[in-house]
Amino acid sequence: MSVDNLVGRRRVLAGGGAAFLLAALEGCGQGILKSGRVDTSAPPLQPRLQLPPLHASPDRITRITVCTRPFRAEGPRLDLEQIGSKTIVHNYGHGGSGWSLSWGSSSIAAQKAMATGARDIAVIGCGALGLTSGLLLQRAGAHVTIYAKDLPPNVRSSLATGVWSPDSRICLEEHATPSFNALWENMARQSFLTYQTLLGLPGDPVEFIDTYGVRDDAERQTPPTPPADDRPPFADLQRKLIGDLIPNSEDFAPGTHPFGARYVKRYPMMMFNLTAYARLLMSDFLANGGKIEISEFHSPADFASLRQSTLINATGYGARALFGDESVIPVRGQLARMIPQPDIHYGLFYQHVSFIPRRDGLVFQVTGEDDYYGYDDAGTTPDRAEAEHAVNTIAGLYT
């Protein structure tokens, strides 16, 4: 990964001594003589973080997308429901964690569907949860048909940020009971392991990047930020339950990185290049003999027209209307997409804005001060001002 570009200052100077680098090093005030030569009597210099600059400007925005996270205060719905002659296995309501938890959650749903004895199984929905449900059912020996109103790239899943975020708006803290925590941990660990099998593939559907959290002051931010008012906090499960999967972070003091007098923390992060990844899931599903039919269901009674008696319901936010489940709360999220920049393999987080270097288009996003940002907002009209604010905030790091 090209972001591991911690180049010793001595090595950089020996390799060319560009004036630009000298100027940068002088900013650190150590080991450089006024003549511009290296003071070899000085103690070894601290390595300096070198990162290729990002070309971030609003005129490079190619698309602004908005979508709603399917949040449920009590977490995803994974129970069985009998409707007429059909057994429905629910697999929806994953908030901001749907991609991250998909393999683990869909594995539970697939096991429940297989336990009915059926081997010809319908999956309703073709997003992150529907596709992984379909693939896992196939691996368990079932014939699978996906029925969905929309397919990637026209599903909500295709409008996600695309990072490993397994506890993002997954439930409220008050619902993170010991049994929910055990379920979540199982889903998260299983998904994490499955994602490791998807690294290194052509098109990089899944890859690790380094992300730099940038702060203006030395005070350490400990995410997640609790809500400023008396609303109940969201669950924070990752550090508590799967801390062993989180690699160590590394701090960079002012003067040892390209972002001026700021404080920087580097941490590795798993990223999903969703265009390539969704295509991979679709093509694997079809190559395994899976069928896809475009259908819209207006109520569960419409399932009577299907030949299959066992169904996995992976309709995401659509379950709110289809099943009248008002426990599904929309949490609006907007991405500004920008012309890809192939030499950028690092992410940034600064002043509540995130940047992800997706291969299928750079992603800028205002994340808000806490997880209530966008809560109960089903509006999907793009906000150009918000998009430009996201881009300009990140661009400001390079001035």
Site residues for ligand FAD per CB under 6 A: 67-70, 92, 94-100, 124-130, 148-150, 155-157, 160-163, 165, 295-297, 314-318, 322, 333, 335
- CB closer to ligand FAD, 104 vs 318: 318
- CB closer to ligand FAD, 368 vs 396: 368
- CB closer to ligand FAD, 161 vs 263: 161
- Minimum CB separation of residue 301 from ligand FAD in Å reads 12
- Minimum CB separation of residue 182 from ligand FAD in Å reads 20
**CB-CB neighbours of 39 under 10 Å:** 13
- Minimum CB separation of residue 98 from ligand FAD in Å reads 2
Which residues are paired to 337 by β-bridges? 63, 363
Return the closest-CA partner of residue 319 out of 68, 70, 84, 101. Answer: 70
Burial pattern 7-25, b for ≥16 Cβ within 10 A else e, equals eebeebbeeeeeeebbebb
d(CA 263, CA 397) in angstroms, rounded, equals 12
- Minimum CB separation of residue 323 from ligand FAD in Å reads 9
Token output for 240 = 């508590």
Handedness of CA 367, 48, 206, 102 (dihedral sign): negative
d(CA 133, CA 212) in angstroms, rounded, equals 34
- Minimum CB separation of residue 104 from ligand FAD in Å reads 11
- CB closer to ligand FAD, 138 vs 259: 138
- Minimum CB separation of residue 209 from ligand FAD in Å reads 13
- CB closer to ligand FAD, 31 vs 347: 347
- CB closer to ligand FAD, 98 vs 361: 98
Amino acid at 340: P
**Residue 82 backbone dihedrals phi, psi, to 5 degrees:** -100, 120
CB 273, CB 279: distance < 8 Å: no
